């Protein structure tokens, strides 16, 4: 059998339509897949570009980071001072109680001394 441009092929129309639909679906699926791949590659490249550009620190950013570090250090120092002041308050309250106790003891001793002097 020889095949040339004049060779006739007998094919039912139903099979011809199914064959054309399969080819059309294949072409459509291929174009959709390639479009999706292009979209994903573009978004990945844009994201990498954004990351690289954001990682470069500008002078203003460096100044802001330095100010932020200074403020954080000052806040930590203030926290420590507040803690010390809280401890001082506790110590002062204890000292006031001790002083009141000692004052009462001194008054009792004074009363005893006065009582000893009046018995003679």
pLDDT the model gives residue 50: 85
Strand, coil or helix: 92: helix
Domain ranges of the chain: 8-56, 57-120
For 57, residues 6+ apart whose C-beta sits below 8 A from its C-beta are 65
SS3 content of the chain, % helix, strand, coil (to 5): 85, 0, 15
What is the rounded CA–CA span in Å between residue 51 and residue 57? 12
Block means of pLDDT (10 residues each) for the chain, 120 residues, are: 77 90 96 96 92 73 87 92 81 88 92 76
For 65, residues 6+ apart whose C-beta sits below 8 A from its C-beta are 57
């Amino acid at each position: 059998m020889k095949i040339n441009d004049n060779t006739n092929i007998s094919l039912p129309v139903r099979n011809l339509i199914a064959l054309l639909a399969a080819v059309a679906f294949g072409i459509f699926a291929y174009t959709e897949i390639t479009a999706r791949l292009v979209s994903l590659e573009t978004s990945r490249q844009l994201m990498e570009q954004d990351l690289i550009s954001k990682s470069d620190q500008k002078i203003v950013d460096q100044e802001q980071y330095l100010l932020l570090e200074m403020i954080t250090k000052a806040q930590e120092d203030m926290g420590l001072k507040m803690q010390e002041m809280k401890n001082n308050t506790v110590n002062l309250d204890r000292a006031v109680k001790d002083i009141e106790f000692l004052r009462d003891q001194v008054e009792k001793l004074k009363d005893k001394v006065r009582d000893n002097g009046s018995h003679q």
